[in-house]
């Protein structure tokens, strides 16, 4: 867990391009762009190249440029009239490369309208792959909108996954209690559910913080957010149910029943419903799931230990709580006998 905390928070982001202005150009002109980048050393780098890539065959090299600061650049391109493209408005990727940072890209940086389709050989630079520099350092990928907050993946997503594991175990224990009526199982399910509730609250808190920095507000009318609020309400009601019944056996029985009920209500709410509706959340309703494009191998190296670490921590906390409950139970029985 310590490794996750340190690695997650300290490892720097790869260099990336934030924006490119102007966005849309007409072909045939000489256009000057103002490009803003992140985590780059544009001023100090010696061997710099800037390319505009329409597709694998059509790559344009910059005509001239001026570096304003380490993170800002003015570059001018000669946009040709003839571009081969399947769509009405052709889009190009901006690639900035230097020997300190390695390549940085901004997909769909500029859009070109009103081009014609005749192919003219002069403008295009050949395959640039051998011209780009290769960097070997360990850095997180640069995703637009997310920027630095991609680090929250380790905490937010891992907390929810750990919570799921805890809840599955607690439902198993509840079912076992209903079958065998041994207090052991009920204490386990109590401990696991309580830890799961705390993890759920932490998950919502981390998600809310993340939302503030990427979406602009702490909460929004997104279905996954609403559903997770409902699930948390359900489990808080579980706590209240446990607190309101005095008799140990009936409390255990009712709590187990409600636990099973709430878990089977949770599965459609948290997993099925969000995938069916439109949602801002990654993985649901039209967004690519976090794992396809968004998970780089560098992220994975910290993400998988985070899941394992948080799950184990959750199990450890529930076991401590279970032992406390068992001790309390033994003491009560000793007093009564």
Partner 1 sequence: MNRIFGIIKKEVLLDLKQKHLVMALLLYVICNCFIAYKAFNVLPKVTWNALVLLIFLFVGLNTILKSFSSRYKNRQLFYYSFYNPVELLIATLIYNFLLLFTLSLAIVGTLGLFAGIEIQNLGLYVASMALGSLGVSILFSFISLLSIKSNSNTTIFSILALPLALPFMFLMLKINAVALGLIFDSTVINDIYIFIGLILMFFSLSLITFPTLWKS
Under the rule (CB under 8 A), what is the footprint of partner 1? 178, 226-227, 230, 233-234, 237, 240-241, 244-247, 250, 253-254, 257-258, 260-262, 264-265, 268-269, 272-273, 276
- 3-state SS assignment for residue 265: helix
Q: Least Å distance between CB 247 and partner 1?
A: 8
Question: Angle at CA 27, nearest 5°, toward 21 and 30?
Answer: 65
In this complex, which beta carbon is closest to partner 1, that of residue 17 or of residue 266? 266
For 36, the token pair is 């803003």
- Shortest reach from residue 245's CB to partner 1, in Å: 5
CA angle 63, 131, 56 (to 5 degrees): 80
Query: DSSP of 76-110, one letter per residue?
Result: EEE--SB---SSSSEEEEEEEEETTTEEEEEEEEE
Distance separating alpha carbons of residues 257 and 267, to the nearest angstrom: 16
Least distance from partner 1 to the Cβ atom of residue 252, Å? 11
Q: Which is nearer to partner 1, 99 or 278 (CB)?
A: 278
Token look-up 């919570």 returns 163
Residue 161 and residue 311 in contact, taking contact as beta carbons nearer than 8 Å = yes
Taking only Cα atoms into account, the Rg of the chain, rounded to an integer number of angstroms, comes to 27
Q: Decide whether 239 or 304 has the Cβ nearer to partner 1.
A: 239
Residue 251 CB, nearest distance to partner 1 (Å)?
A: 8
Are residues 55 and 25 in contact, defined by beta-carbon separation less than 8 angstroms?
Answer: no
The least distance separating partner 1 from the CB of residue 322, rounded to whole angstroms, comes to 23
Run of H or E including 25: strand 24-25
CB nearer partner 1, residue 233 or residue 320? 233
Q: Which is nearer to partner 1, 90 or 234 (CB)?
A: 234
């Amino acid at each position: 867990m310590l490794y996750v905390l340190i690695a997650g928070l300290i490892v720097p982001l790869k260099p990336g391009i934030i924006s490119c202005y102007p966005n849309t150009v007409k072909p045939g002109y000489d256009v000057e762009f103002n490009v803003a980048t992140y985590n780059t050393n544009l001023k100090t780098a010696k061997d710099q190249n800037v390319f505009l890539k329409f597709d694998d065959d059509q790559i344009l090299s910059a005509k001239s440029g001026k570096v304003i600061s380490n993170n800002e650049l003015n570059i001018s391109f000669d946009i040709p009239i003839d571009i081969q493209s399947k769509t009405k408005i052709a889009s190009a990727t901006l690639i900035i490369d230097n020997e300190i940072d390695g390549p940085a890209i901004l997909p769909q940086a500029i859009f070109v309208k009103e081009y014609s389709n005749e192919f003219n050989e002069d403008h295009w630079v050949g395959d640039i792959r051998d011209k780009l520099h290769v960097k070997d350092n360990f850095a997180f990928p640069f995703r637009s909108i997310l920027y630095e907050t991609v680090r929250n993946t380790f905490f937010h997503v891992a907390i929810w996954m750990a919570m799921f594991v805890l809840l599955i175990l607690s439902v198993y224990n509840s079912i076992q209690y209903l079958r065998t009526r041994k207090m052991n199982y009920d204490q386990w399910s109590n401990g696991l559910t309580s830890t799961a509730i705390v993890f759920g609250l932490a998950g919502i808190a981390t998600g809310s913080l993340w939302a503030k920095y990427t979406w602009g507000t702490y909460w929004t009318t997104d279905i996954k957010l609403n559903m997770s609020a409902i699930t948390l309400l359900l489990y808080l009601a579980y706590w209240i149910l446990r607190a309101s019944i005095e008799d140990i056996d009936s409390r255990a029985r009712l709590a187990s029943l409600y636990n099973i009920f709430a878990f089977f209500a949770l599965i459609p709410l948290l997993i099925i419903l969000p995938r069916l509706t439109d949602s801002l959340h990654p993985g649901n309703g039209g967004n690519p799931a976090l794992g396809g494009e968004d998970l780089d191998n560098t992220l994975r190296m910290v993400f998988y230990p985070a899941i394992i670490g948080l799950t184990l921590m959750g199990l450890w906390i529930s076991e401590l709580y279970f032992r406390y409950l068992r001790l309390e139970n033994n003491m009560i029985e000793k007093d009564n006998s």
